[in-house]
Structure 1
Amino acid sequence: MATIRRAGLVILALSVLTGAAGAAEAATAPAPESAMAATPADALVLAVDARELPDGLLHAHESLAAAGGDQVLVFPKWIPGTHAPAGRIVNLVGLRFSAGGATLAWDRDEADPYRLVVHVPPGSARLEADFTYIANHGDVSSAGVDVDGTRGLGVINWNCCVLCPEGRPVAAIPVTASLLLPTGWKPGTALAIQRAQAPGWRFAPTTVGALIDRPLIAGPALTETALDTGGLPTALVIAAADGAPVVPDQEWCTRLAAAVTQAQRLCGPAHCTSYRWLCMVGDAFDDIGLEHGDCSLCGLAGRPFSDFDSTSYSERDLMVHELMHSWCGKHVRPAAMATADLQAPQRTGLLWVYEGLTMYLGEVVGTRAAMHTPAEFREQLAADIHELSYQRGRAWRSVEDTARAAWMLREPSNRYGDLRRGEEFYSEGKLFWLEADLIIRSASGGARSLDDFCRAFLGAPLAPGTALRTYTVDDVIAALAAVQPHDWRALVRTRISAVRPRLDGSGYEGGGWRLVYAESADPAPPPADENTLLDARASLGCELRDGRVSGLQPGSPAVRAGLHEGDQLTGMDGRRLTGRALEDALQGAASDGIGLVHLIVSENQVPRPVDVHWDQGPRHPRLERIPDAPDLLGAILAPRER
């Protein structure tokens, strides 16, 4: 590294070298004296070279205080927000440790591969580490906390390029970080930038915990748009994988700003001083969302920000969901998930609060801010209830167990997924909080609501000098009882902790709406593509993913016709298998007086006809008003004026 002086400004940057060899040499350069002099003796100095990130490589040099003897460094394992041991140490390569210019021997702990034991000579002042991280090689758990690079977009999560002294809380490890980017690139981050002159950036001193909580995106055409929230400074930062500039349309800006306003009217003032959405645009980043205290990392496919009206409910919901996590999950978090060193396993049994409450609040706030219409909210709620009702795994697995086993359930299952269950702490957790809201509103005659709980539980000021408040299930129950007397512990027990084989309407029909099934789908089902899930569980009794049977209901018409889990369907009523073909086949079977849906199953590339008896047409879940019942759901979704 070198200290470069330009126009009186000291820039901490790595030596400007060219080619792969130059990047490797830059990654192994020692920390500059100016950085060492400006940081505490026990501080970690981190220099990251991302100039090869478009080719999938990230280089790092780290300097930290040394102690003679065996010194243990750990690679972060349990990254906040993933609820899983998501650290991809398999991508950490080219490790070299040195002290005083001499290369040091090191060993990996056989029982814990995240522990690296470095043999440091007595009298060494600093331990130097050089390594490379392989980008674009994540898994389902690491998405959102990994490193990715394309010709037009770089994503840097600092947990991938730092080794921590074992046994020290990451919030107590001071760090000074610097970064080199490809020529012409600029960064977007919630980190305070101390000094900047492309291609090098130096960030203000912070802690390793705070550094990891502030990821960075970068690109040659990165855009940053300030949003007018009337209070909290907020920005929408976007970089596209293809390197093209993305400027959000006015509707996006207006409604995201409204979401920030409605969120603060619900929960109280934000616990951060500013907020940024860091958005990655590209098919490879679709549906990535990771919450942070004063920012979020969001991935969307296509060109969603150019036309708000063309976006899906899930794309809009992603943005508000991650915003709500700033209150619920980041600054206010279950005590068993607030681990200090990122190595100890998180106990995730309260994810029905962390994620379930966030899911509920995100959709409510999104509707109040006109990100969604009330009809869209009801359509999504009906879909959630329908999905949960058809899970055979309800007979053996509780919502709480899905939360405790969260990291094992993150990857969707194409084989008997309804029997295994998935991350139902999201959607069934959402139903719990809807029911709690309805109980409070009904019992108080509309005088109080879950809004009051959120303002007290999530919005109360944090203790001075802290950025986190933790809670237990007893705290949740006490906070609910403070808003409205009720046997909340019994509700948690019956809805969350106990096995609940059947999902009845008692929890949500108090809102004045009930689940029904209708023949027409609005909007009409799109043609199937390789990622489309076709749901005929309420009619034929089967679910299809990529044309393959991924779920069957016992005793259903599909089972009686001889379909099996895993069967590959290639056609339906003489047509290619698509959502439209399924809809037409169901309608035709209901009107032709025969009542048969003709399927083609491929067995070892040999077609086999299967006729399924069904004469009742399509069945799509919908919510309909309950006559004479108060519309409490409508009251929940109404915007807050103050």
Structure 2
Amino acid sequence: MKRLIFLLFPLFAMSLSAQPAIQYTMDFREPNSHLIDITMTIRNALPGTQQVALPAWRPGRYAIQNYSRLVQEVRAASETGLPLPIRKLNKDTWEISNGNVSAITVTYSFYATILDAGSTFYNDQEIYFNGSNLFMYVPGRLNEPVFLKINHPDGWQTATALKPAGPKSFTAASFHELADSPTIISPTLQHRKVTVDSINFHIWIQGETNGNPDALAEGIRKMARTHLDFWQGVVPFTDFHFLYHLVDYRSGHGVEHAKSTSMVLGPLTNLPDPDDWKRAYPTTSHELFHAWHVKYLVPADLEPYDYSKEQYTNLIWFLEGFTSYFDIYLNHKAGLITEAEYWEEFERLIRQSELNPGTAVTSIADASYDAWLYGYSSDGNKNRMVTFYSQGELFALLLDLDIRKETNHQKTLGDLMRWLVAEFPVKGRFYQESDLLNGLKLLTGKSYAPWFADYVHGTKPFPFQQAFDSAGYELIKVPADPVSRTLLGADFKRVDEDWVVDQVLPDSPAMKAGLFLGDKLSGSVFHPLPDKNLDAWLAGNLSDSTLTLEVKRRGKPVKLVLSGLNTTHYTYKIQKKTNHTSPW
């Protein structure tokens, strides 16, 4: 016992003499109130007035989130408890009139009912938070160390990448690190750990599941092995934490962090095979790759983070699309998916891209800027929308195919990523788009400026056939079942008991016939509408490439005749040429 006291005493003394000037304490009201009480202590406050602010967005989600809508009862006082005047300057910022008071306490409550990979959630089963929406910060002091005390129930486990600093206490080197460290606290957390090359990978599972955690850990071991091999010795962390929320509804949401990732995945509560975690692997691999690409390899546009407003970059297609490309590539290398499943991803994406009219009017660079406009929603003109995830992934595929062709399969897109890491974060630098072009030129001897002009900043169709052919692969059209988009040029969604027009494609039979967004299908002149499988119903009611529909528009019946309908439907199949032996 004497030895134990001897070891703890210097740590306690150190904590008293080197306490961070900015500290947070979390307390909790009744679980069914969902209210978390935050006490923020600021020492060395500015004389006269001091501002505090709540982030308007979080890194990894390029959209204004307006987290302050969840904040209430903001108060300020001196450290001795004397109330101080506080007023709201804008939706995210408060100003305290503190005079000569240099130590300020700010208190507020946060309403925590949202469960997603970047939110804060509190009930009787868990405390889950992302500091990027829960904690206020002091403008101009984002790089100072901070201290956090969490007064959670005794006996609950904590899953976090934050550094422990005593019972229920943690430190972070800066507000950035605090904001970048999602945390789950629960009495029912399951924990597994795998170690690869002396790197500890922690698996934390929150939520009931019949899945075997050991099988998930084994899958992550294979995945981690492949990611570490890919980066060839450059590892920006010593421990990494996978925080899983497993739910019984469809979800594939994950958020990247420097030393961890938070994911809400489902349905994963009742697996057909308890050892089969294949549904979890795509998001897991995606977020792990982000630990290097986005959190370590950072574009100059996003350095440093400005939590108060939009932070624009035209490179989100590179940040997200290339990560999507490599997450499935590395899962294939790890043996977590088959080669057929690997190529099926691109077969689907290529056809999806072809059928999206937005690719003809919106470049992937513009789509990167537009993330701040749409907030990742489908509101607005769907005929101009492009997803930087899938289009960026397809551009990565084209580049990889061309790099392999130009170098006789001696270099790959992976070599570009490793070059960027070696040239920029390893040397303490941040990159720009021109650096991607420089790296490609060094790898291949070829200028890719025309590619970027055509396919990144322009809307020229991606040359899939040419790219596959030159790299020793074939892109083959194969018959497919008709769907409303290929048949009519329209999409429908189920709203209560109605099939409602959700999108009308330009120059399509649906557009020419006068179908409107929001029209409700009433049926054909011959058959009633089905509850399911509308595509088959539409195809079954064709008559010589013509379809007669009845719709309700603003409550009135309208009859439409759609002619010139497409009767040839296909998808794609990717396969190696018979004489092609180069490895992928």
> What range describes the TM-score normalised by the shorter chain of this pair?
0.7 to 0.9
- Structure 1 equivalent of residue 98 of structure 2: 120
- Structure 1 equivalent of residue 528 of structure 2: 574
- Structure 1 gaps, min length 5: 1-6, 12-32, 522-534, 637-642
Contact 1:304 1:311 in 2 (8 A): no
Match of 2:159 among 164, 175, 188: 188
SS at match of 1:261: helix
| Deviation of 1:562 (Å) | 4.4
| Deviation of 1:555 (Å) | 3.7
Match of 1:279 among 229, 244, 257: 244
State the one-letter code of the partner of 2:144: I
State the one-letter code of the partner of 1:583: A
- Structure 1 equivalent of residue 479 of structure 2: 518
User: Whole-Å Cα distance in 1 between the matches of residues 578 and 314 of structure 2?
Assistant: 39
1:132 aligns with 2:106: no
Contact 1:356 1:426 in 2 (8 A): yes
User: Whole-Å Cα distance in 2 between the matches of residues 488 and 350 of structure 1?
Assistant: 16
User: Whole-Å Cα distance in 2 between the matches of residues 151 and 380 of structure 1?
Assistant: 40
Deviations 1:428-467 (A, max 9, x none): 1112211121112111111221222222223679458xxx
- Structure 2 equivalent of residue 15 of structure 1: none
Match of 2:506 among 554, 568, 577: 554
User: Whole-Å Cα distance in 2 between the matches of residues 571 and 218 of structure 1?
Assistant: 52
User: Whole-Å Cα distance in 2 between the matches of residues 219 and 570 of structure 1?
Assistant: 50
User: Whole-Å Cα distance in 1 between the matches of residues 24 and 72 of structure 2?
Assistant: 17
| Deviation of 1:166 (Å) | 1.4
1:427 aligns with 2:427: no
State the one-letter code of the partner of 1:56: H
Segment of structure 1 superposing worse, 210-219 or 611-620: 611-620
- Structural mapping, 1:213-292, within 5 Å: 213-227=180-194, 229=196, 231-240=198-207, 244=208, 248-269=212-233, 270-282=235-247, 286-292=251-257
Contact 1:548 1:569 in 2 (8 A): yes
Contact 2:530 2:537 in 1 (8 A): no
Contact 1:57 1:132 in 2 (8 A): yes
1:476 aligns with 2:436: yes
Change (3 A) 1:459 1:319: farther
User: Whole-Å Cα distance in 2 between the matches of residues 376 and 403 of structure 1?
Assistant: 28
Contact 1:291 1:326 in 2 (8 A): yes
State the one-letter code of the partner of 1:73: V
Displaced runs of 4+ in structure 1, greater than 6 A? 7-11, 33-36, 308-314, 605-609
- Structure 2 gaps, min length 5: none
Q: TM-score, normalised by structure 2?
A: 0.87
- Structural mapping, 1:455-534, within 5 Å: 455-458=418-421, 462-463=425-426, 469-500=429-460, 505-511=465-471, 512-514=473-475, 516-519=477-480
| Deviation of 1:149 (Å) | 2.8
| Deviation of 1:507 (Å) | 4.3
Deviations 1:498-539 (A, max 9, x none): 233676644455441315242359xxxxxxxxxxxxx53222
Deviations 1:223-261 (A, max 9, x none): 111235454211221112xxx366545543322221111
User: Whole-Å Cα distance in 1 between the matches of residues 424 and 579 of structure 2?
Assistant: 38
1:173 aligns with 2:144: yes
Change (3 A) 1:245 1:190: farther
User: Whole-Å Cα distance in 1 between the matches of residues 63 and 503 of structure 2?
Assistant: 26
Deviations 1:136-193 (A, max 9, x none): 259xxxx53321234434320112332222123x2x2111111122465322111222
Q: TM-score, normalised by structure 1?
A: 0.79
Identity of paired residues, percent?
A: 20
User: Whole-Å Cα distance in 1 between the matches of residues 345 and 492 of structure 2?
Assistant: 20
User: Whole-Å Cα distance in 2 between the matches of residues 222 and 303 of structure 1?
Assistant: 15
1:58 aligns with 2:58: no
Match of 2:121 among 142, 148, 162: 148
State the aligned residue count. Answer: 568
What root-mean-square deviation, in Å, do the aligned CA atoms of Structure 1 and Structure 2 show?
A: 3.4
User: Whole-Å Cα distance in 1 between the matches of residues 198 and 551 of structure 2?
Assistant: 59
Change (3 A) 1:615 1:543: closer
| Deviation of 1:265 (Å) | 1.6
Contact 2:297 2:424 in 1 (8 A): no
1:444 aligns with 2:423: no
Segment of structure 1 superposing worse, 607-616 or 384-393: 607-616
Deviations 1:313-350 (A, max 9, x none): 77531111111101110011111112245335322211
Change (3 A) 1:90 1:428: same
Change (3 A) 1:478 1:167: same
State the one-letter code of the partner of 2:125: G
SS at match of 1:164: coil
Segment of structure 1 superposing worse, 97-106 or 299-308: 299-308
- Structure 2 equivalent of residue 369 of structure 1: 334
State the one-letter code of the partner of 1:162: F
SS at match of 2:295: coil
Contact 1:54 1:152 in 2 (8 A): no
